[in-house]
Amino acid sequence: MALKEFATHLRNYLLMGIVLSGIWYISPSFALGMNTIITGSEEQTQMLFFLTSITLIFALGYLAYELAKPTIIPSFVLAIFVGMAARDVFAHVTQNTALLSMLITAGAVMILFGGGIETPFQQFKKSIGPILSLAIVGTVVNAFLFSLVLSALASWMHIALPLTVIVLLGAALASTDPAAIIPSFGTLFFTKPRVKHIAISESAINDVVGAVLVSIFLSIILSDVAPSTVQDAYSMLLRDESLNLILRTVSIGLVVGCIGFWFFSLWSKWKEHVDIDAGSDAALFLAIPLFSYTFATIFGGSGLLATFITGLLLQVRSHFRHVEHYFNHTIEGFMKPMMFMLLGAMVEPSELLLVANIGIVSGLIFMFILRPIIVFCTLAPFTVGKERLSLSELLFLSFVRETGVIPAVLLITIYLSGIEGADTGMAIGLWVILLTLIIEPPITPYLARRLGLARLQRDVPERRHVGPVAVLCSRGFSFPERMETVVQWALQHSVENIVLLHCPESRYTEEFIADVYERAIALFTSMNAKLVHSGQREINFEFLDAPGLLQDNIDALIAAGDVSIIFVGSKMLDYRLDDVKRLNVPFYFME
């Protein structure tokens, strides 16, 4: 078995190497070949070049995602290398400032909107103190300290790096990334879920803080005000004009974000009372975040903050959950790989090698010195009191330092500003991103288990239907008598999905499950027929069977998300009251 697994891994990595080598080999002849094939006016030629490049971004992004899936290499890292190998292919995009700016802006808007939706708002409110302290104060302190580190390293290593670039790099790289962090948690069930919610919420909010910080510094620098030191640059943030700019930027972003959420609320209420084709819903789901960004930016606010607030306040309801599902696939399969490929395509490999020493050293300091200092300092006030954070939680958060897609967007934004030395800064930033994405993802789940905060999550069969679900648990044949109660609850609370989670534990056999399955399907059919006959909408019933302990399977199903309530027999579980509270899902105990 070990030999077979080794052969499979070897094949996967060889395939990855062959594909990268092939892209690198073909890329230089791409422009020449296109010039030979395409004929027509200059405008038509340019348009076809752009369309071809964007089509290849789609295709190569998908390829990077699929190639990385069976390996330990994050898809984002592979996307960067694909971009570096395909530099000539993407040249018509990266050399067109207007097109590149439009792509990264649209990508940032959609990614931050998705980050807002992914942030668990109820858990966010419960831990708002440590989240905001770490995400706001911690991000600013992180940016300041990292700029000091870069300044000292550049001087020590005799690397010509302008102070303006140093300051902007610190701000751009200060945030973590939920898109990189969440997959690290995918194999874990957290016995103390608070720390997971803090990490995810912090990573979503500090993306916005980093973006606002970069925009403020760019405004100061492009107004021909040149700071002489890192301390001088940050002292400029405390001047009256800078504080007014920050206040206006943040306030307008917050207000417009709430307006965007209001539009979503109107749409949501309307969709609850109509039963029409939902084919056009995706257009509004994309349009409102773009509206929030554009409207806020026009009036001098932070468009990215407005977009995030719109997503944060939005509680996706079941009647347009299908649109969110489509949206998430669009972000994961296109927007995020595109950002990393464009970043890779814009960095000269020779430049990357020239700054390898400062990039690697600063990246290691960033992860293993600055992050723990910031976590322990900003969260120190929350280590006392009833809901105090434990040492284990602080240690875990100290090594959640994955840097990702929004920092990549900000690096490109700095490059497009035309500031001297931005190309060198981008190469250093790429080293930091690569190191955090390669080193941190294996460390994160390992530390969570070693510190007693989580355990490996068992797999449960994947659900066919997305959206909020009521779960009825059963070990035998008691479910027909209990299902009516579950159906009535679902109808009263507008929950369209019901799962029968069947775990016979020690009695688990294929024959037993087949018998239960037949009875369950007959019950589902009968109940839906009654609902239709009474003029009500059908329920999406689903049967999930899983070996092992019922309690473990409930844990795994809750961890997968969207569970609204658990119905169980009063004598079926070994949960203590504290366990039930920890799960943050209502339990209904049935006789």
Domains along the chain?
A: 2-456 (1.20.1530.20), 469-590 (3.40.50.620)
Question: Which pLDDT belongs to residue 585?
Answer: 79
> How many other C-beta atoms lie within 10 A of the C-beta of residue 43?
8
Residue 504, token pair as written in the block: 């016979």
Q: Is 210 in contact with 176 (CB distance < 8 Å)? A: no
Q: Is 400 helix (H, G, I), strand (E, B) or coil?
A: coil
The C-alpha atoms of residue 241 and residue 263 are separated, in whole angstroms, by 33
Closest Cα partner for 205 from 283, 135, 138, 294?
135
What kind and span of H or E run contains 547? none
| Side-chain half-sphere exposure of 435, counting CA atoms within 13 A | 22
**Residue the block writes with tokens 């295709």:** 59
Question: Which pLDDT belongs to residue 321?
Answer: 56
Question: Which pLDDT belongs to residue 357?
Answer: 95
Q: Is 403 in contact with 437 (CB distance < 8 Å)? A: yes
The C-alpha atoms of residue 76 and residue 80 are separated, in whole angstroms, by 6
The C-alpha atoms of residue 313 and residue 41 are separated, in whole angstroms, by 48
Closest Cα partner for 555 from 578, 517, 585?
585
What residues form DSSP beta bridges with 540? 497
Angle at alpha carbon of residue 75, lines to 70 and 79, rounded to 5°? 130
Question: Which pLDDT belongs to residue 265?
Answer: 78
Low-confidence ranges of the chain (pLDDT < 70): 1-2, 31-42, 120, 122, 179, 186, 271-282, 315-326, 328-329, 457-462, 506-508, 570-583
What kind and span of H or E run contains 71? none
Question: Which pLDDT belongs to residue 173?
Answer: 93
The C-alpha atoms of residue 52 and residue 38 are separated, in whole angstroms, by 11
**Residue the block writes with tokens 């997959």:** 183
The predicted model scores a pTM of 0.79
What kind and span of H or E run contains 499? strand 497-502
Closest Cα partner for 33 from 56, 10, 13, 17?
56
* Cα–Cα distances in angstroms (integers) from residue 276 to residues 280, 307, 369, in the given order: 10, 28, 55
The C-alpha atoms of residue 436 and residue 425 are separated, in whole angstroms, by 17
Angle at alpha carbon of residue 378, lines to 372 and 384, rounded to 5°? 105
Closest Cα partner for 480 from 534, 538, 526, 514?
526
Question: Which pLDDT belongs to residue 318?
Answer: 45
Going by DSSP bridges, is the β-strand pair 587-590/454-456 parallel, antiparallel, or unpaired?
unpaired
What residues form DSSP beta bridges with 454? 190
Angle at alpha carbon of residue 98, lines to 94 and 102, rounded to 5°? 90
Amino acid letter, residue 246: I
* Cα–Cα distances in angstroms (integers) from residue 330 to residues 101, 194, 389, in the given order: 19, 29, 36
Q: Is 172 in contact with 210 (CB distance < 8 Å)? A: yes
